[in-house]
Amino acid sequence: MTDLQSFIDTEGKRLFVPVRIAVLTVSDTRSFDDDKSGNTLAERLTEAGHQLAARAIVKDDVEEIQGQLNDWIDDETVDVILATGGTGVTGRDVTPEAFEGIYEKSIPGFGELFRMLSYQKIGTSTIQSRATAGVTRGTYLFALPGSPGACRDAWDMILKDQLDYRHKPCNFVELFPRLREHERRGGGQ
């Protein structure tokens, strides 16, 4: 992530910071031709002024998901990973397990807020979502359900603001410089 001081104008006002975001679709059946949820996220983030850093589709498999996540986490051109799919409760839904297996810190409020907002639209059916978020090696990770509507809701009602440096009173972007502090102090979390 770029030095954030360069995104403050002469009056002390914060300017927009384009974030580099990778989009991962988790599915045994999707291709780029019919990946409506991945397309929804890619369109929303670029319309907001962010950069689509990478895009991939992987099978519903913990090792495949974690392999792609780790590749992107280690890539300095990726700041955030948005994944769609595999967050339900069926036998093939393993995205939360894959994500939680590599988190350094979880962000439980993301899933809680997503389900609260989703409840307003789909009622108690939101209980089937295991949307999750966390941070690993300085990269934010968000796992969203596989429906375009859920991706729209997560972006429009949570991520659009939290990934905007101008959003007050606080946002995820302003924390980028501090996400790896524990590494500089000798590894303790």
Per-residue pLDDT tens for 133-166?
999 999 999 999 999 999 999 999 999 999 999 9
Rounded Cα distance between 35 and 42, Å, is 11
Is the pTM higher than 0.85?
yes
Encoded tokens for 161: 């603001």
Q: Which candidate, 62, 52, 78, 50, places its Cα nearest to that of 163?
A: 50
Q: Write down the pLDDT at residue 2.
A: 63
What is the per-residue pLDDT for 52?
A: 98
All structural domains of the chain? 17-180 (3.40.980.10)
> How does pLDDT run across 29-83, given as a tens digit for each residue?
999 999 999 999 999 999 999 999 999 999 999 999 999 999 999 999 999 999 9
Q: Length of the chain in residues, anyone?
A: 189
| Nearest Cα residue to 136 out of 165, 109, 107, 97 | 107
Q: Which of 14, 33, 13, 17 is nearest to 25 (CA)?
A: 33
